[in-house]
Chain A
Amino acid sequence: MRTEFRLSGSGGQGLLLAGIVLAEAAILEGKNAVQTQSYGPEARGGASKAEVVISGEDIDYPKAMDPDFLLALTAEAYRTYGKLMKKGLIIVDESVPPSEDIIARTARVPILKTAAKDIGKSVVANIVALGVLAGVSGIVEPGTLEAAVKNRVPKGTEELNVAALKKGFELATAFKAKA
C-alpha cells in the first residue's frame, strides 16, 4: 500500500526536516520511503514543499500523485495544493481561512498556536505538525517517530522537539475523537 504525504508551507518552517523525519521513521519500521522536495529560490519565505511516499513495496515514482494527506501551514500553500486534493485529507493550520473551492475533507488544527503558546517556540511548529500527521494517519508508531526526531534535530534540542511531537499527537487524538 502506497501512502503519500505532501507537507507545504513557506521556506524556513522546517517542513523538509519534518518530511525527512517521517521518512526515516518509516524506514526504521522496515518500510520503504522516499522523500522529495521543491523549494523556491529563497532560503526563507519562499514557498516550500516536501513530499514523502511510504510503502511496503518497491516505490518506483518518488513524488506524490494524489496525496493521502496534505499538510498546509500557510494560506498560500493551502490554496495552491488544497485545490489538487481528491481522495485525501487536508490538515491545515487553524489560522488559515477556509476556502470555498477546496472540497477535500479538512481538519483545522491549531499547529502554529500550539508551538508558540504551549511549547513557547514557534520554530517547532514543524514537529508539532509531524505529530499531527503521524497521529492522524497512523503511518508509524509514536515511539519510532520519537526516535527519528531525536536522531535528526540539532543536538541539545531533543527534549524540546519531543515535547512538540507529543503535543502534535495530542492534537491528532483530539481531532480523531471529534471525527
Chain B
Amino acid sequence: MSDILKYFRQDRLPHIWCPGCGHGTVTGALVRAIARLKLDKNKVCVVSGIGCSSRAPGYLDFDTLHTAHGRALAFATGIKLARPDLKVIVMTGDGDCTAIGGNHFIHAARRNIDITTIVMNNNIYGMTSGQYSPMTPKGFLGTTAPYGNPERTFDLCKLAEAAGATYVARGTSFHAQMLIDLIEQALTHRGFSVVEALTQCPTYFGRKNKVGGAVELLEWIKERTVNAKAAAVLPPEKVAGKLLIGELHKNPQPEFCDEYDKIIAQVQRKFEGFRGGVRGCEQNSD
C-alpha cells in the first residue's frame, strides 16, 4: 500500500468524486501500474481535460496539467515532443475524449506519439450532470436524451485502432486486476496506447437509467463485457452484442518523437545567419 500512497498527493485527499464513482478505481489502477513499474515520480507527467474524470491528476504527485475540455492530448503532444524523456499519461472522460476532443484523439493516434491515454468511459457527461455523450448507448437516458438517446456510440477501441494507435485495450472498473495489467502493458508500450476503462457514474448514469447504484452498475458492466480471449472460443450467441475486454490490438510502429529525433540527427547544426530564400514565390491561399 505505501508504495502506492507515495504517488498520491495525500494532502489533496479526500477527492471530490461521489460515493461509488468508478473514477477512483481507474485512478487507483493507474497508480498501481505505475508502482509496479517503479516509475520515477519526477519523470511522469499526467495531463487531463475537463470533467469529473479529468480531476484525477490533481490527486497524483507528478507534474500534472489540468487543461481545457477536450484538449488534453494536444497539450500532452507539446509536452511529449518537447521532453520525450518524460512518461506522459492522459486521463480523459468519454465526452472529453470522443466528443470535443475527438479530433485530437485520432491525430495523436495517427502520429503514434508515445502517450498513454486512459479513457474513463462512464457513458455520460458526469461533470455537467448527466447529458448524453457519444458513448451513451442507444436508447439510454440522459438529461438531454429524455426520450432515449437516438444516436449511436463509437466503438472507441476500433476507432483508436483505425486511427493508428499501436496499443489498444479495454478494461473495466469491475475487473480491477485486469485493468492494472492492461495499463501496465500500455505504459510499457512505446507509441500511442489507449486503454478504455468502462466505469460507473452512479449519480447520473445509474440513477437516470434506473440501473441502480455502484454495485448494480458494476454488475451491468460485467454483463455487457466478455473477455477477448474467452470470446474466441465461445459460441457466437454468448458474444453477440457484448464488448470485448482485454488487449485488443498491439502493433509496434515507429514512434513520432523518435522519428523527429532522426530528422534532428540528420540536420542539426549551429544556427548561423539566414540566407533567405524564394519561399513564397508560388502562393496558395485559403
Contact = CB atoms under 8 A, between A and B. Distances in A.
Contacts, number: 27
B278 A20 contact: yes
Interface of A: 11-12, 14, 16-17, 20, 37, 39, 41-44, 152-154
Contacts of A44: 282
B284 A42 contact: yes
Nearest to B282: A43
23 contacts: A11-B282, A11-B283, A12-B282, A14-B281, A16-B280, A16-B281, A16-B283, A17-B278, A17-B281, A20-B278, A20-B281, A39-B285, A41-B284, A41-B285, A41-B286, A42-B284, A43-B282, A43-B283, A43-B284, A44-B282, A152-B278, A153-B278, A154-B278
A20 B281 CA distance: 9
A12 B283 CA distance: 9
Contacts of A152: 278
Given A20-B278, A41-B286, A42-B284, 14 more contacts: A11-B282, A11-B283, A16-B280, A16-B282, A17-B281, A20-B281, A37-B283, A39-B283, A39-B285, A41-B284, A41-B285, A43-B284, A153-B278, A154-B278
Contacts of B282: 11-12, 16, 43-44
Q: Which 9 residue pairs across A and B have the least CB separation, nearest first?
A: A41-B285, A43-B284, A16-B281, A39-B283, A17-B281, A43-B282, A17-B278, A152-B278, A43-B283
B160 to A, nearest CB: 36
A11 B280 CA distance: 12
A72 to B, nearest CB: 19
A160 B208 CA distance: 77
A20 B282 CA distance: 13
A42 B284 CA distance: 6
Contacts of B278: 17, 20, 152-154
A57 B181 CA distance: 74
From B278, B280, B285, residue with most partner A Cβ within 10 Å: B278
B66 to A, nearest CB: 41
Interface string B263-286: 000000000000000101111111
A14 B278 CA distance: 10
Contacts of A16: 280-283
A146 to B, nearest CB: 17
Nearest to A153: B278
Contacts of B283: 11, 16, 37, 39, 43
A41 B280 CA distance: 13
A11 B281 CA distance: 9
Nearest to A40: B285
B242 to A, nearest CB: 52
Nearest to B280: A16
Contacts of B281: 14, 16-17, 20
B188 to A, nearest CB: 47
A56 B253 CA distance: 59
